[in-house]
Amino acid sequence: MPSSPTPSPTPEPSGVRRRSLLGAAAAAPVLASLAGAGSAAAAPVASATAGPAGGPRALPGGGDLGPNVIVFDPSTANIQGRLDEVFKQQESAQFGTGRYALLFKPGTYSGLNAQLGFYTSIAGLGLSPDDTTINGDVTVDAGWFDGNATQNFWRSAENLALVPVSGTNRWAVSQAAPFRRMHVRGGLNLAPDGYGWASGGYIADSRIDGTVGPYSQQQWYTRDSSVGGWLNAVWNMVFSGVEGAPAQSFPEPPYTTLETTPVSREKPFLYLDGDEYRVFLPEKRTDARGVSWGNGTPRGTSLPLTQFYVAKPADSAATLNQALEEGLHLLLTPGIYHLDRTVEVNRAGTVVLGLGYATLIPDNGVTALKVADVDGVRLAGFLVDAGPVNSATLVEVGPEGASADHSANPTTVQDVFVRIGGAGPGKATTSLVVNSRHTIVDHTWVWRADHGDGVGWETNRADYGIVVNGDDVLITGLFVEHFNKYDVQWNGERGRTVFFQNEKAYDAPDQAAIQNGSIKGYAAYKVGDDVSEHEGWGLGSYCYYNVNPSIVQHHGFAAPNRSGVRFHGLLVVSLGGNGQYECVINDTGSPTSGTDTVPSKVVQYP
């Protein structure tokens, strides 16, 4: 186990990677032939089954998963050809409309290289990753972007065992690209071919038998997993509950290592029980370490697909709400859903699970989704894209003033991503509001776009990324970027964050545009002045004021100076000297300076 960085075979890039300067990829044309590619999974339809009050249910549970869920079994002909066809469409379709889920039934597959492009998810359909083995690779590289992986967003791999052809699988991703519940019988390379820039990433509930080589990855968070080794670090590598993780050593090398994860509950997933589709709901773990599936069958419960309304993109918000009112859960099949009203999740234990980056777009300034102050709601696996009319909020977990105790059965928000602009004009005052106590947000990227269509200081105005008002909230794997004011504002007591990655908005026109009273700029992560207890581990904020490089940001982090408010492993970076930080947190920490992109760090605060 290396306790210090190991040199990569090619010198690691030390320069600045910038998405905005390199531009956005044009969306690839839609391949009409894909509409019928592969066998879309079907499940029994249960019409007129009982609703929550025992009366007849008007909407059916279960049903066909639609044309963009492509299901393979080991006997399927020309699997590679179908994978290649999806990849050809999605490789550079950064803001395209294609959405795909590639699902593999349990068994063994050989000679495959599943290259993943945008809005593509690949997953096995077993209860354990080892039920579905690919003798081959699941690959993310950056050839479409000249070897730069900093825009390899919105793709995922889940619940598979891989035996890489070369002994090492390449997974060169950046934000919103989870690697969950995977077993790599070999090594894992997180850099693109040529070791170009990369800005990821997230691994959870996975076992990598060999060494993980991040190489050029600027930051990474790994949770409740097992690794055979970890090669090096650039700016910020964070581990919680990871067997084989490097020892705590921040600031040099910048490893922040927690022996366990305080509370975790793995993401729900679709699987096959014989010929029947079910959704598995993993149980909550406290002080978790290692994978949840290590002894075979995972612990938790499951639901038949007949208890889900299998939604299609043409469904209205009224239909989704009707299904929820009738006691059904929601399975969002791949595609884009326009919502003219809020989707209301009011029943305890409701599951809203997306496949293939199903995307919700609120029209006319509505909130896309609201959750009541109830136990055990699970939101997972979908993207919320702001509409052109400003929404006050996009996602609300619990109403204002929510106060119920959910410690025994919290709401979880996992791989729920938010975007404002990029695919077109979008506005939202606040993206995600968490009011319910004990909520677990496990991996999110909340992004005010810095490139693409509909981008500009006022064009895709979005003041706040995440606002946490509820007490006892835990966030593991928090990525929030480019908001006009606070990226994160935390008002609840006893909040905890394990890993934070941030970039301040690039496009501020001048110092006055970001002035926060007497303070230069809004902190990336602001803990409310009245908060008594809060804790964070492994938090980084970067500035790249490319429109006006003379802008000064006083600090990346702001918090009350109290003994109960504690931070471990903080850093700020000026990317190439485009703007500077005067301090790291409050008035503490050295200023950044020059153009060398060297982090300024604070090991402990206070």
| Cα 403 from Cα 495, distance rounded (Å) | 15
| Cα 477 from Cα 547, distance rounded (Å) | 29
Given the DSSP bridges, would you call strands 600-605 and 565-574 parallel, antiparallel or unpaired?
antiparallel
Strand ranges (DSSP E) for 305-368?
A: 308-311, 329-332, 336-339, 343-345, 351-362
Provide the greatest CA pair distance for the chain. Answer: 69
| Cα 34 from Cα 56, distance rounded (Å) | 37
| Cα 53 from Cα 41, distance rounded (Å) | 30
CB-neighbour burial class of residue 520 (10 A; exposed 0-12, middle 13-18, buried 19+): middle
| Cα 302 from Cα 237, distance rounded (Å) | 34
| Cα 225 from Cα 188, distance rounded (Å) | 13
| Cα 67 from Cα 280, distance rounded (Å) | 23
| Cα 246 from Cα 226, distance rounded (Å) | 11
Query: How is 83-119 classified by DSSP, letter by letter?
Result: HHHHHHHHTT-TT-S--EEEEE-SEEEEEEEEE--TT
Active site residue 243: no
| Cα 15 from Cα 192, distance rounded (Å) | 16
| Cα 298 from Cα 371, distance rounded (Å) | 27
Read off φ and ψ for residue 414, nearest 5 degrees.
Answer: -135, 130
Output the six-digit token pair for 435. 């009011």
Cβ-based neighbours of 407, under 8 Å, separated by 6 or more: 437, 438, 472
CB 168 within 8 A of CB 187: yes
Output the six-digit token pair for 17. 């990677």
CB 384 within 8 A of CB 395: yes
Distances (CA, A) of 407 to 433, 453, 468, 498: 19, 42, 16, 18
Question: Choosing from 12, 266, 326, 503, which is the catalytic residue?
Answer: 503
Q: How many residues does the chain have?
A: 606
DSSP H or E run through 414: strand 412-420
| Cα 408 from Cα 283, distance rounded (Å) | 11
H-type alpha helices, 228-381: 317-325
Output the six-digit token pair for 36. 């019928």
Which residues are identified as catalytic?
Answer: 503
